[in-house]
Structure 1
Amino acid sequence: MMVGAVAAASTVALAVTVMPAQAATSAANSAATAQAWAPAETAVIHPGVQTYTSGGQCTANFVFTDDAGNVYLGQAAHCSGTGEATDTNGCDAGTLPLGTKVTFNEGGSLISEGTQVGTGTIAYSSWNTMHAVGETNANTCAYNDLALVKVSAPDVAKVNPSVPFWGGPVGINTTGTATGDKVYSYGNSSLRGGITLLSPKTGISLGDDAADGGWSHPLYTLTPGVPGDSGSAFLDAQGKAVGTLSTLGLAPLPLSNNIGDLSRELSYAQQHSGIPGLRLVPGTEPFEPVL
């Protein structure tokens, strides 16, 4: 992202563009038992794995499935955006088409994409969908930032739905966050050079703004979400999936983050994606807020 462009905006999306090295619920529970997930300790595709879309790096959030048994990994829709980092209105911003290839990687940094551990294709994007249906609701356009990457069949056996370090999710938060509520996340920006010890993060909610219609939850984390953390999973104090990292706030709350409300993002996808039985998969590991 360009410093001049960032300074002029109140929020900025958090994808990273990698320079080449040479350039320097019950339905969900039944789905979980039907799928033979890889053990959490050895799975290489999971919430928090790095995703690369046309050179842009983001962090996967949650695992989803459908009635056909397909497996999807969530990422931010803006990770396949074709505009600037300040283009955060999904109803206006350019975006790559469905079917675009995404790779899942470990150890990516600013000079290397690390080791590829799997592949998938974009099967749903809220940005593409909002373009197609002519969405006009301002909050939906601003905060509906979810894409689903269909995991390639040979790589499904490498997937576990648990959030690393924390465990869960144990369901979906449908009530939002109040001021001071604890939240838990796992970001995997290439800016950290693949050092996963820096990935687990805790934070507190700044309280929901009624004007956002429940679509966004502003918060602070230690450390803040940075470019490349885009899409990261956020859990509430009960281990429920509450949101996905979307933007870094620059004003009026510097270094705060905004997360899109997962219950609304998923409901929108269920309504418009054409994927029968689309649902969140709970983690196989218990939620343990150890920090």
Structure 2
Amino acid sequence: MRAGLGPRRTVSALAVGLAASTALTLFTAPAGTRTEAPAVPAVTTTARAEAPAVIPSPAVAAGPSSIGPGVVTETAGAGLCTAGLVLTAGDRTFLAQAAHCGGTGDETETDGCTSAAVPLGTPVTVRGTDRTVTGTLAWSSWNTMQARGETDPDTCAYNDLALVELPADAAPAVGAAVPFFGGPTGVRTEPLPAGAPVFGLANPPDATGARAVAARGGVVAGDVGGGWGHAVYTMEPGVAGESGSPLLDAGGRAVGVLSSLSSTADRPSIEYTDLGRALDYAARTDGPPGLAPASGPGFTATPPGVDPRSLATPAGPGIAAG
């Protein structure tokens, strides 16, 4: 129904027939004979269709909390990773992680269109700062690409996003803030030029294997995979277990999800899946409707209490756009 027209009025066929019959009877009745017209059934109207109820997005605290970006996730039967951003869709809340965190092959199997992976519904342990909850693998670009028969090599190599759905009772412990920096303030959709400063998280293990998230600065070396990914130089190389962690630009907008560790001409680099492209792919296929990152607090590139040397960015050769 078009807006502004109101309910459409309908008259039953029976009512039309009786009205015509009444008119004919009144016309042919003998003079002096009073003929009572039969009652015409009341005109009926169709009921206005009620719009389906809109399920509001759950309220996610903007500030830091026990569960959010930077916490450890462990997918049953697969690997240990670092959580990316908090996202919502209707009344559902998710943590982002890399799709390859659900991979069951060896570390060289990085093609999301052919590599083995755990099924959707697999339990994912989420180790918050003061509590541990069990989430569920709800969506994965790898599973979707394999189900759809995706063949584009850049998409297969760099579309590396998965969603871990958090249980409803964990909601009070969820916060959207990226540790140290704040944000995200949105999702970056325009190109990211070489030389641009970016900000992310490190999560290396200590001697006991425990992990403590730390701030990391970097500089963009260039695009890879035809824009599906971004290569980033950092002073310290990334390590296994940091996959999935978020990357922000100088305005606090979300840029990517840590996907792989790579090498360029003279130094190692970290490659991030472009988050805008990954979210668009989810929206165009079978991702949760209305999926969007939860907003964090204000962003700062110089977080208090963080040694500026940990945010230093190296100089290095650019990478030709792939």
Between the aligned partners of 1:252 and 1:94, the Cα distance in structure 2 is: 31
Between the aligned partners of 1:127 and 1:229, the Cα distance in structure 2 is: 19
| 1:237 aligned partner | 250
| 1:286 aligned partner | 298
Which one of 124, 128, 142 corresponds to residue 139 of structure 2?
124
3-state DSSP class of the match of 1:244? strand
Between the aligned partners of 1:138 and 1:34, the Cα distance in structure 2 is: 35
Which one of 70, 76, 82 corresponds to residue 59 of structure 1?
82
| 2:176 aligned partner | 161
* More displaced 10-residue stretch of structure 1: 157-166 or 180-189: 180-189
Contact preservation (8 Å) 1:90, 1:126:
yes
Contact preservation (8 Å) 2:198, 2:250:
yes
Contact preservation (8 Å) 1:59, 1:189:
no
Name the % identity.
45
- Aligned-pair distance for 1:248? 0.5
- Root-mean-square deviation (Å): 2.1
**1:1-20 equivalent positions in 2, closer than 5 A:** none
Between the aligned partners of 2:266 and 2:110, the Cα distance in structure 1 is: 17
Between the aligned partners of 1:127 and 1:253, the Cα distance in structure 2 is: 31
Contact preservation (8 Å) 1:44, 1:117:
no
Q: What number of residue pairs does the alignment pair up? A: 247
TM-score, normalised with respect to structure 1:
0.79
Which one of 51, 54, 58 corresponds to residue 35 of structure 1?
58
| 2:282 aligned partner | 269
3-state DSSP class of the match of 1:245? strand
- Aligned-pair distance for 1:90? 0.3
- Aligned-pair distance for 1:228? 0.5
- Aligned-pair distance for 1:116? 5.2
Aligned: 1:199 with 2:206:
no
Between the aligned partners of 1:94 and 1:34, the Cα distance in structure 2 is: 33
| 1:18 aligned partner | none
The 1:102–1:70 alpha-carbon spacing in structure 2 relative to 1, beyond 3 Å, is same
The 1:195–1:228 alpha-carbon spacing in structure 2 relative to 1, beyond 3 Å, is closer
Amino acid at match of 1:146: L
- Aligned-pair distance for 1:208? 2.0
Contact preservation (8 Å) 1:220, 1:256:
yes
Q: Which runs of 4+ in 1 moved over 2 A?
A: 33-41, 187-196, 250-254
Contact preservation (8 Å) 1:186, 1:199:
yes
3-state DSSP class of the match of 2:276? helix
Amino acid at match of 2:202: G
Contact preservation (8 Å) 1:48, 1:186:
yes
Rg (Cα) greater in structure: 2
Contact preservation (8 Å) 1:103, 1:116:
no
Contact preservation (8 Å) 1:187, 1:199:
yes
Contact preservation (8 Å) 1:45, 1:118:
no
3-state DSSP class of the match of 1:267? helix
* More displaced 10-residue stretch of structure 1: 262-271 or 218-227: 218-227
The 1:97–1:183 alpha-carbon spacing in structure 2 relative to 1, beyond 3 Å, is same
Amino acid at match of 2:133: G
- Aligned-pair distance for 1:176? 2.9
The 1:253–1:228 alpha-carbon spacing in structure 2 relative to 1, beyond 3 Å, is farther
- Aligned-pair distance for 1:36? 3.3
The 1:271–1:282 alpha-carbon spacing in structure 2 relative to 1, beyond 3 Å, is same
More RCO (CA 8 Å, sep 6+) = 1
Contact preservation (8 Å) 1:176, 1:242:
no
Between the aligned partners of 2:57 and 2:288, the Cα distance in structure 1 is: 18
Amino acid at match of 1:229: E
Which runs of 5 or more residues in structure 1 are unaligned?
A: 1-30, 108-114
Between the aligned partners of 2:109 and 2:182, the Cα distance in structure 1 is: 33
The 1:166–1:274 alpha-carbon spacing in structure 2 relative to 1, beyond 3 Å, is closer
Aligned: 1:89 with 2:108:
no
- Aligned-pair distance for 1:267? 0.7
The 1:229–1:274 alpha-carbon spacing in structure 2 relative to 1, beyond 3 Å, is closer
Deviations 1:215-235 (A, max 9, x none): 010111232221000011000
3-state DSSP class of the match of 1:129? helix
- Aligned-pair distance for 1:199? 1.5
- Aligned-pair distance for 1:195? 5.1
Contact preservation (8 Å) 1:44, 1:158:
yes
Amino acid at match of 2:93: V
Which one of 168, 192, 196 corresponds to residue 177 of structure 1?
192
- Aligned-pair distance for 1:207? 1.9
TM-score, normalised with respect to structure 2:
0.72
3-state DSSP class of the match of 2:74? strand
| 1:259 aligned partner | 272
